[in-house]
């Protein structure tokens, strides 16, 4: 059972969102219990540990509410609902799961709920969670990653996938540790490659990826790379 809180000063919005969530959740075989609030203070003093919160952002007071929620519960996922886009930058500093622009469309609510269920259940065992520099968490299939490189800023990485490129927060060595159960290799201190996406390579120099990008291959790691790459080819052949 997922406990979902909805907080909006407009009771009509709360009721409409409740109806939509109750209509969408069964499509994902998800059992939900919805708690409805028109004041952030009521939600906070309820002392209920929610799984997901839909919080309307109209101004600084709602930002303060979000900060209080995050101090009380570091695990709960918050989805911001707003038509005041100028407040989103400040809101995202409080680690948002996502946001929905008002008026809330059913397609957006469905997308958020589906992303949340994937996030909590890890429907795909090969999914890893990354946090973009805008504060939004994303789920990326390890198989879809071509390579990862250090970004231009400290604690920033660029994740190149088959479909999109993402600029994320993170330290490349820590991300490499998260990928230890998959077929990835670090041929250079600032790059991680998916061995399944390697087209060919030049010993001690560079690796050519399937998307035609070139990745440096350091001399100190060249021998280990060759061994792992050849082993991977044996599995694929």
Q: Same domain for 132 and 97?
A: no
- Residue 65: strand pairing partners: none
Query: How many Å apart are CA 58 and CA 39, to the nearest integer?
Result: 12
Average pLDDT (178-205) is: 93
Q: Same domain for 36 and 81?
A: yes
Could you tell me what percent of the chain has a pLDDT over 70? 92
What are the tens digits of pLDDT across the range 133-142? 988 888 888 8
Q: Same domain for 19 and 91?
A: yes
Give the dihedral of Cα atoms 143, 145, 150, 151; nearest 10 deg. -140
Which CATH number does the domain housing residue 74 bear?
Answer: 3.40.50.2300
Q: Same domain for 111 and 131?
A: no
Q: Same domain for 16 and 70?
A: yes
The three-class DSSP label of residue 156 is: strand
Q: Same domain for 79 and 147?
A: no
Domain range for 76 is 2-121
Number of domains in the chain: 2
Q: Please identify, among 71, 87, 121, the residue that sits at the C-terminal boundary of a domain.
A: 121
pLDDT value at position 89? 65
Q: Could you tell me whether strands 98-101 and 77-82 are parallel, antiparallel, or unpaired per DSSP bridges? A: parallel
Is pLDDT of 228 > 70?
yes
What are the tens digits of pLDDT across the range 95-121? 778 888 888 999 999 999 988 887 776
Name the DSSP letter for residue 134.
T
Is pLDDT of 122 > 50?
no
Q: Same domain for 139 and 115?
A: no
pLDDT value at position 125? 52
Tokens of 115: 């992303």
DSSP assignment string, 55-101: EE--SHHHHHHHHHHHHH-SS-EEEEEES-GGGHHHHHTT--SEEEE
CA distances to 41, 134, 182, 234 from 61, rounded to whole Å, are 10, 21, 44, 59
Q: Please identify, among 62, 87, 121, the residue that sits at the C-terminal boundary of a domain.
A: 121
Q: What contacts 34, CB < 8 A, 6 or more positions away?
A: 4, 5, 6, 18, 21, 22
Burial of 73 (0-12, 13-18, 19+ CB in 10 A): middle
Average pLDDT (137-160) is: 91
Which CATH number does the domain housing residue 156 bear?
Answer: 2.40.50.1020
Query: How many Å apart are CA 155 and CA 27, to the nearest integer?
Result: 39
Q: Please identify, among 121, 148, 183, the residue that sits at the C-terminal boundary of a domain.
A: 121
Residue 231 binned pLDDT confidence (cut-offs 50, 70, 90): confident
Is pLDDT of 90 > 90?
no
Query: How many Å apart are CA 128 and CA 168, to the nearest integer?
Result: 13
């Amino acid at each position: 059972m997922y406990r979902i809180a909805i907080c909006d000063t407009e009771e009509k919005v709360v009721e409409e969102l409740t109806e939509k969530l109750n209509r969408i959740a069964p499509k994902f075989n998800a059992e939900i219990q919805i708690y409805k609030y028109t004041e952030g203070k009521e939600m906070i003093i309820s002392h209920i540990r929610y799984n997901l919160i839909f919080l309307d952002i109209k101004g600084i007071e709602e930002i303060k509410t979000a900060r209080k929620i995050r101090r009380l519960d570091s695990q709960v996922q918050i989805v911001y609902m707003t038509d005041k886009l100028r407040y989103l930058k400040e809101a995202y500093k409080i680690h948002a799961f996502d946001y929905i622009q008002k008026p809330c469309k059913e397609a957006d609510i469905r997308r958020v709920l589906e992303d949340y269920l994937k996030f909590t259940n890890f429907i795909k065992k090969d999914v890893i969670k990354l946090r973009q520099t805008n504060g939004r968490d994303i789920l990326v299939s390890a198989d879809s990653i071509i390579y990862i490189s250090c970004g231009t800023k400290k604690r920033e990485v660029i994740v190149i996938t088959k479909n999109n490129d993402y600029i994320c927060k993170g330290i490349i060595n820590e991300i490499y540790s998260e990928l230890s159960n998959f077929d990835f290799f670090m041929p250079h201190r600032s790059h991680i490659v998916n061995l399944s996406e390697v087209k060919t390579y030049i010993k001690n120099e560079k690796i050519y990826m399937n998307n035609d990008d070139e990745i440096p291959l350091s001399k100190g790691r060249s021998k280990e790379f060759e061994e792992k790459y050849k082993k991977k080819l044996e599995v694929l052949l």
